[in-house]
Amino acid sequence: MNDSLTVRDLHPGETESARLFLSQHGWGHRIGDAESFARLIHNSQRTAVALLGEQIVGFARAITDEVSNGYLSMVVVDDQHRRKGIGRALVKHVMGDNPDITWVLRAGREGAEAFFASLGFETSVIAMERQRRK
């Protein structure tokens, strides 16, 4: 088996594998059933997976207008593979290289704030949010 890391766009045939990966890594409450998740992926402009060989070890998705604003919605890395650059590679992949896009995110999970700060994100004092139903 090839154990080299690959970070690339999610292929359409991998949607269910990505949903199962997210469900196994604490995101089941956010992804819904297969149909809802397929719609979520379809409506996201950027989705990426990190693969070791053929095994998904990370996932990220983002929404952007491709000109000015972007929202980094999910970055998930398998616990066994954290601190190896996979999350960083996923974030860079979905954000791309347009320096004119302002990216925002919610960093509510333990360790997330320090991780995203290492990628150049700063805590904002001007953000507002209207939370979804629980």
Distance CA 58, CA 76 (A): 5
What pLDDT shows up at residue 28? 83
Q: What's the pLDDT at 102? A: 93
Least confident of 79-83, 113-117, 124-128: 124-128
pLDDT digits (tens, 9 = 90+) for 67-86: 999 999 999 999 999 999 99
CA 68 to chain centre: 19
Beta strands 69-77 and 102-105 are: parallel
pTM of the model: 0.89
